[in-house]
Amino acid sequence: METNEQAQRERYREVERALAKLVEEIEEVEDGDVKELEQKIYKGALEIGRKLFQCRINKGGEKAPGKQMGDCGHEQHLVGYRTKQILTLMGKVEFKRAYYQCQRGKEEEHHKLCGQGRSPADQVWGIDQRRTTPGVQEYISYLCARLTFEEAAETFSRLLPLSISARQAQSLMEPVGKAVAEREEKVLKALFEQASCKHTSREEQKELCMPKRIERLYIEMDGIMERLRRGTVEMEVLEEKRKGDVYRELKVGTIFEAERGRERSELAPEVWVDTPKENSMRYVARRTAKGDFDQLLYGLARQSGLEQAKQIVVLGDGAAWIWKLADEHFPGAVQIVDLYHAQEHLWQVARAVYGPQTEAATVWAKHACDLLVHGKIEDLVAAIAALPPIAPEPGESRSVPEKAVDYFTTNAERMRYPTFRAQGMHLGSGIAEAACKTVVATRLKRSGMRWTPDGLDALLPLRTCVLNQTYDDFWEGQPRLVA
């Protein structure tokens, strides 16, 4: 009778024969046919890898150590060997392993058997009640962070000898995204605990005395609306009355270290304008309703060198929540209203008062923008207040010019653009807008896409993890599937 050791040796001999056959096949490839040579080696290497995987995993699976204790609390006995198909990066693998079952009566008087069974080898390899390897989950989740589920599944199936559906891709991705979010929260908690400690070790004190030098760290924020499936979130009265999906806000933040750019300031020609330092851009994105964006942004800033930065600059479009967040988490930071958003406000005023595409609107807007660019906010507010009064728009209690007066008065100190330009600061939050496009729009706002809160909460941290180049760190030392 053939022993397990003999069967295992025969399997490895099959691998040796497959390798020898592959060598013969590539020797027969005609000189110059690099495509054929490459394809044969690629497919052959995957097939040999599949066979090696099967050999190694079956070596442990076929061991029968005797009696086992089951979850039911009873002894389980070997009843045979069962085969399970495993989905690996090299293709499908047949895993033959010992199967144990409880033979004890659950209710002795009725002679019924408990019947609970299991394969201990499944638990050893981390595939209990699953048949996908961590490698497959890691690869497909990465693709899902960058592509639609359909594109990710198609790309995966094209590059590797394993077919996977869009639904399978999503099912494998979601627990990874949730695990990434949990890891971020754990790191964040540790950062806050560290910040609250009154004493530091000698090593930490030494590190604080000789910090990495960062001249200027920028923090930019913006909001973007995302389409959600109807009924997946609590709806307002107006939303319930109208048909279709609903929209909710996502907040996106980007942090980067500045370096001298190639452009000179138009307000201070002798000064070079800041530009993001290469590989310093980091992102965070969350649903506004989830409520932890501000803390995650602060945590990311700490990781990006907040404590080592000589100067912090917070840029935004003028929304009140941005400045509230900045005051709470980044006190002392220079706060700047994006120049281009401020200019848009002035054009809205001009069109509301003089009508769209009129010469009078253009003349007034250009003069107002000139005052804005040169930081003459008090003169600008006076110019808006001097405009002819107009009625509020439908559904509004105040007119466009009246709201603009409040906007520019409130943000006056955030609009001293000559002062900012003299220091080489860039004035546009275009990077935050680009972040909204990079993090959200490019992946989550494709044609016909609708999301659930759970889907967003899984994909957003996963996508920023990939964009921040921390995805490999997450998987390091992760031998099992993320469930």
Burial 387-408 (b: 16+ CB within 10 A, else e): beeeeeeeeeeebbbbbbbebb
Question: Considering the chain, what is the average pLDDT of its residues?
Answer: 88
pLDDT tier at 210, thresholds 50, 70, 90: very low
270-299 per-position pLDDT tens digit: 888 898 999 999 999 999 999 889 999 999
How much is the pLDDT for 2?
A: 52
Picking from 365, 241, 255, 356, the residue whose alpha carbon sits closest to that of residue 315 is 255
- The H helix count followed by the E strand count for the chain is 19, 12
**8 A C-beta contact, residue 401 and residue 354:** no
Lowest-pLDDT range of 207-221, 416-430, 468-482: 207-221
Beta strand 334-337 pairing with 309-316: parallel
Cα–Cα distance for residue pair 430/315, rounded to 1 Å = 10
pLDDT tier at 231, thresholds 50, 70, 90: confident
Look at residue 113 and tell me whether its pLDDT is greater than 90. Answer: no
How much is the pLDDT for 78?
A: 83
How much is the pLDDT for 262?
A: 81
Question: How many other C-beta atoms can be found within 10 angstroms of the C-beta atom of residue 482?
Answer: 19
**8 A C-beta contact, residue 84 and residue 131:** yes
Look at residue 108 and tell me whether its pLDDT is greater than 60. Answer: no
160-191 per-position pLDDT tens digit: 999 999 999 999 999 999 999 999 988 888 88
Question: How many other C-beta atoms can be found within 10 angstroms of the C-beta atom of residue 152?
Answer: 24
Rg, the chain, Cα only:
31
Question: How many other C-beta atoms can be found within 10 angstroms of the C-beta atom of residue 299?
Answer: 22
How much is the pLDDT for 209?
A: 42
pLDDT tier at 206, thresholds 50, 70, 90: very low
Taking the alpha carbons at both ends of the chain, their separation in whole angstroms is 41
pTM (predicted TM-score): 0.87
How much is the pLDDT for 207?
A: 46
Question: How many other C-beta atoms can be found within 10 angstroms of the C-beta atom of residue 433?
Answer: 20
Percent of the chain at pLDDT above 70? 89
User: Which regions of 14-126 does DSSP assign to beta strands (E)?
Assistant: 68-69, 75-88, 91-102, 105-107, 112-113, 117-118
How much is the pLDDT for 1?
A: 43
Look at residue 107 and tell me whether its pLDDT is greater than 80. Answer: no
Beta strand 214-228 pairing with 309-316: parallel
Cα–Cα distance for residue pair 392/398, rounded to 1 Å = 5
Cα-based torsion angle of the residue sequence 276, 278, 279, 282 in order, rounded to the nearest 10 degrees: 0
| CATH architecture under which domain 211-338+428-451 falls | 2-Layer Sandwich (3.30)
- Rounded to 5°, the CA angle 91-92-98 comes to 140
**8 A C-beta contact, residue 414 and residue 336:** yes
And the tokens for 92? Answer: 């499908």
**8 A C-beta contact, residue 105 and residue 137:** no
pLDDT tier at 67, thresholds 50, 70, 90: low
Look at residue 122 and tell me whether its pLDDT is greater than 80. Answer: yes
Look at residue 226 and tell me whether its pLDDT is greater than 90. Answer: yes
And the tokens for 247? Answer: 């929209």
